[in-house]
Amino acid sequence: MHNDKFENMKFGTKAIHAGIKPDPSTGAIMTPVFQTSTYAQSAPGNHKGYEYSRTHNPTRDALQKNLAALENGKHGICFSSGMAAIDCIIKLLNPGDEVISANDLYGGSYRIFTKIFANYGIKFHFIDMSDIQNIENYVNEKTRLIWAETPTNPMMHIIDLRGASEIAKKHGILFGVDNTFASPYLQTPLDFGADIIMHSVTKYIAGHSDVVMGALVVNDDELHEKLSFLQNSSGGVPGPQDCFLVLRGIKTLHLRMQRHCENGKKVAELLKSHPKVGEVYWPGFPSHQNHDIAKQQMRDFGGMISFCLKDDNIEEAFRILENFKFFTLAESLGGVESLCGHPASMTHASIPKEEREKVGLKDSLIRLSVGIEDIEDLIWDLNQAIGR
């Protein structure tokens, strides 16, 4: 059971066993928290594989192996946050290089691209990737990276992973995917040709709103070596206690995601039939622009849903958000508890209003992260908060 052959395990077995071995010194079933900064050496340079915890830590190593297995990848690298993981990817590039990014993406990603790395001479193109042929229009000899989210945040667009990866490979470009909204349970982009997977581990993977962490998963050895060098040099590493908490959270990832999906479907259907609700953005609807692609590359459709009000009234949106009893108004997503947010003033406030509106992100848009509570209570909460 406790071996390194993860490829034949089913997902739920991987979540519990991949990369995890009983501690050889005590037989402890759970990975110990190696709360140490440094390690004894018997002679200069002669050690047991660990010198300093910025570079390697046994608790972190176990988590990295586990995450790699969940994504059907070879190498995992954990970071102090999702933004630290994205920062590491862009540091692969040089001044003058260009990035083609989805135009509907997390506000923090937009901010680091436009407010930090653009100042170092990297050019970013933000385009609609719902039709991946749009990518071809922006590829040139300076393009080094295609960056996608799918489903996107917060408009729930679906990007064709296989199609985008074929374009990237044709032009010799790296293809990176933020897989946070789907989690490895719903989607494994490496299997569709992606080069780098990024997760805000804070969200579904950790799953309990008690950790901030990021991760990258890759297959290519040279790419892993470059990213590991950048991480060690820059120092954006998580602590062992956080790694322990994520390992514990992962053990129920498959069970949690199943309930997120079940509840998400019922919430989406309720919203779609509600007289005060306008557009509902959820890839499980057959009417969704890329529903068929979502069916091909996702196991299920997830618990992230966005919706607008018919009258697009921001004051009414605020009233609803403040009136929820079980949906908590808060940043973030993917925890066991249901959360609600107002992207225009919260997660996406760093994106200018005119850019938000280009992708349909209206001021009345509400984003829900549907948790794993009893669905009857969530339905009651939505009805009482929105009203009739």
Q: Can you give the pLDDT at residue 5? A: 65
- Greatest Cα-to-Cα distance within the chain, rounded to the nearest angstrom: 74
Q: Which amino acid is at 97?
A: D
Q: Is 195 a catalytic residue?
A: no
Query: Annotated catalytic residue: which of 144, 203, 256, 299?
Result: 203
- Count the helices and strands in the chain (H runs, E runs): 14, 12
Gap between the Cα atoms of 388 and 385, Å rounded? 9
Range list of β-strands (E), 232-381: 277-281, 304-309, 328-329, 339-341, 366-369
Phi, psi of 341 (to 5 degrees): -150, 165
Nearest C-alpha neighbor of 330 from the set 317, 314, 315, 345: 345
Q: Is 138 a catalytic residue?
A: no
Query: Annotated catalytic residue: which of 54, 74, 111, 226?
Result: 54
Gap between the Cα atoms of 146 and 206, Å rounded? 27
pLDDT by residue for the chain (388 residues), tens only, comes to 344 566 789 999 999 999 999 999 999 999 999 999 999 999 998 898 899 999 999 999 999 999 999 999 999 999 999 999 999 999 999 999 999 999 999 999 999 999 999 999 999 999 999 999 999 999 999 999 999 999 999 999 999 999 999 999 999 999 999 999 999 999 999 999 999 999 999 999 999 999 999 999 999 999 999 999 999 999 999 999 999 999 999 999 999 999 999 999 999 999 999 999 999 999 999 999 999 999 999 999 999 999 999 998 999 999 999 999 999 999 999 999 999 999 988 888 888 888 887 878 888 899 999 999 999 999 999 999 999 7
Q: Can you give the pLDDT at residue 3? A: 42
Residue 233, both tokens: 């040099």
Q: Can you give the pLDDT at residue 276? A: 96
Q: Is 242 a catalytic residue?
A: no
Residue with tokens 């990369």: 19
Gap between the Cα atoms of 184 and 200, Å rounded? 12
352: which residues sit within 8 A by CB, 6+ positions away? Answer: none
232: which residues sit within 8 A by CB, 6+ positions away? Answer: 54, 55
Query: Annotated catalytic residue: which of 14, 104, 106, 144?
Result: 106
Q: Is 281 a catalytic residue?
A: no
